[in-house]
């Protein structure tokens, strides 16, 4: 019975700083060596909440740029369709040119925004991992 309960919580397990045994979130002490692990949990939560807000801001900017990029792409496609359907009219060619430019600009914005998001995510993960490893080895 005890064994089964242990396995169910495995997904959220951490490692005991004293003996290296797997411990679950619910444990107050290490099931193997009896070390107090409530501190480890508190420390972990603290570190996660300490992720600098500048990461969040940058992530927001990246999402914003990428989101607007998609809108510009959609606008460009509309202009392109309009240009094609009214090719005989004076509005046709400018609409086509505008459409192509908008799509190019939009795709560039999406790529730019997503590369910011990607870069920030990597930075954030690296930082979190480093901090957690530092906390564990203390």
Using the contact rule CB under 5 A, the part of the chain among 9-17, 40-48, 63-71, 76-84 near Zn ion is 9-17
d(CA 40, CA 63) in angstroms, rounded, equals 34
Confirm if 113 and 69 have CB atoms less than 8 A apart.
yes
**Residue bearing tokens 């998609």:** 70
- Range 15-54, binding Zn ion (CB under 5 A): 16, 18-19, 21, 30, 32-33, 35
* For Zn ion, the closer CB: 33 or 87: 33
Q: Where are the alpha helices (DSSP H) in the chain?
A: 2-8, 38-49, 53-85, 92-137
CB 68 → Zn ion: shortest distance, Å? 51
Q: Which two tokens stand for residue 59?
A: 């992530």
CB 47 → Zn ion: shortest distance, Å? 20
The radius of gyration computed from the CA coordinates of the chain, to the nearest angstrom, equals 26
CB 15 → Zn ion: shortest distance, Å? 9
CB 10 → Zn ion: shortest distance, Å? 16
User: Under the rule (CB under 5 A), what is the footprint of Zn ion?
Assistant: 16, 18-19, 21, 30, 32-33, 35
């Amino acid at each position: 019975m005890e064994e089964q309960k242990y396995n169910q919580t495995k997904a959220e397990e951490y490692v005991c700083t004293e003996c290296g045994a797997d411990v679950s979130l619910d444990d107050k002490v290490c099931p193997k060596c009896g070390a107090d692990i409530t501190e480890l949990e508190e420390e972990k939560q603290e570190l996660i909440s300490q992720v600098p807000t500048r990461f969040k801001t940058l992530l927001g900017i990246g999402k914003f740029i990428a989101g607007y990029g998609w809108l510009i792409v959609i606008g460009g496609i509309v202009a392109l369709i309009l240009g094609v359907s009214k090719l005989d009219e004076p509005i046709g060619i400018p609409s086509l040119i505008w459409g192509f430019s908008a799509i190019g600009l939009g795709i560039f914005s999406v790529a730019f925004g997503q590369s910011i998001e990607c870069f920030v995510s990597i930075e954030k993960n690296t930082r979190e991992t480093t901090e957690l490893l530092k906390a564990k080895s203390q």
